[in-house]
Structures are given as C-alpha cells and as structure tokens.
Amino acid sequence: MVRIPRPHLLQKVASGSAVAAALGKDARVGAGRDKDVFKVPSVPIRRTASEADVFGSPSVSAGSGSKGKEREKEKVESVERENRNMVKRAITKALAREGVGKGHAEFKELFQMVYHGACFALRRRLGIGALDAQTIEHFVDAHIRMYVNDVPS
C-alpha cells in the first residue's frame, strides 16, 4: 500500500454491505462461475536436431538410438576420455615444473582448479577429436599462471 486508508473507510470495508456496495449492484456471490476458465500454459516448442543452441546441439537419449548411434556415442566418449587424460597429464607436469609436486599440501586443490578450468575452456573441443598437446598446454599454463604465479604477496 502506498497510502494508509483513513480509519472511517476501514470500518466501512470491514462490514459486508460495504464490500458488496463497493463491487456494485450486479455483484453476486458465486455468480459467474460457469464463465471461469482454468487456463493451461502451452507446451514449449521442442528444438529439432538441426537447430543450434548456445551450448551446442541437443544430446540424444541413451534408449532411443540405434546401434550405430550407440557406437558413435561410445567413440565420442572414448575420444573425450583420452583428451581429459591428456589434460590431467599436462597439469601434473606443469605443476611439477612450478614446484608443486604430488606431495605438496595444496596439490589436490590446485590440480582440481586447473583441471576444471582447462576442461571448461576446452569443453567444445574435447569430444570432437584428439587435441594436440600445444593447445592443451596453452590452457593449462594460463590457468596455472592465474592460480600459482599471480598470487598476491
């Protein structure tokens, strides 16, 4: 409420006759119920496989594909798994160059931050094909510079 109502108006509204008078002479309790309609929102439009999304094309569900699609999915998953393993090896080597070996107290935390950052940066390329070592090292080194080298003193 923007303004507080005057006290004499509150007393009129509290009584039932004042409410009916405020609604008008044609207002009836329960009248017009047959006119009420329950509105259901429309179903969202489904995207086709050819439409591009901000995050890439829609994924195919596991149960709806044929054997060819399953083999293709397994192939993409194996390529992505190998790329992720290459990223892990590159991170381990790069952290060792910076003096953060596996025995370091912050190794696990740094490894996870660099791994997630590099994989997020490479997310569109991971499942497409084998990544070259130079591309992986570029992103790994960029994240290590952010997390290890640029620490404020």
Q: Residue 36: pLDDT above 70?
A: no
Vertex 109 angle, CA 103 and 113, to 5°: 130
Backbone φ/ψ region at 42: left (φ over 0), alpha (ψ -120 to 50), beta: beta
| CA 105 distance to own-chain centroid | 32
Average pLDDT of the residues in 85-100: 93
What confidence score (pLDDT) does residue 69 get? 80
Using the predicted structure, report yes or no on whether residue 153 has a pLDDT greater than 60.
no
Whole-number pLDDT of residue 87: 95
Q: Average pLDDT of the chain?
A: 78
Highest mean pLDDT among 25-34, 36-45, 66-75, 114-123: 114-123
Look up the pTM and report it: 0.53
Tell whether the torsion through CA atoms of 10, 13, 14 and 17 is positive or negative: positive
* 130 CB-near residues (< 8 Å, 6+ apart): 79, 82, 83
**pLDDT average, residue stretch 63-85:** 80
Task: Compute the CA torsion angle 126, 127, 133, 136 (nearest 10 deg).
Answer: 0
For residue 146, pLDDT over 50 is answered with yes
pLDDT of residue 140: 94
